[in-house]
């Protein structure tokens, strides 16, 4: 059976495949804007406080599974 990969889009919860800036692989964030093949990802902390926003190529992100 073939696996179908979900195209990442705005509002998706994502996981970094690789380290990006100060954020290690495995960091969870949410896509707040999509610019073609680049996503603007918000990293939040306790209470939903924004810790950082980073630009990440879509091919360095995985959609987070529930």
CA 34 to chain centre: 11
CA distance 2 to 39: 26
Mean pLDDT of 5-29: 92
φ/ψ of 47, rounded to 5, equals: 75, 10
Q: Are 56 and 41 in contact (CB under 8 A)?
A: yes
Radius of gyration of the chain from its Cα atoms, rounded to whole angstroms: 12
CA distance 53 to 66: 22
Q: Are 14 and 7 in contact (CB under 8 A)?
A: no
pLDDT band at 61 (very low <50, low <70, confident <90, very high): very high
Mean pLDDT of the chain: 91
pTM (2 decimals)? Answer: 0.86
């Amino acid at each position: 059976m073939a696996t179908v990969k979900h195209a990442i889009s705005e509002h998706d919860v994502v996981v970094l495949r690789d380290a990006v800036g100060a954020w290690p692989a495995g960091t969870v964030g949410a896509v707040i804007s999509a610019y073609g093949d680049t996503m603007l990802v918000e990293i939040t902390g306790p209470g939903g406080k924004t810790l950082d926003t980073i630009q990440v190529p879509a091919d360095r992100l995985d959609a987070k599974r529930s």
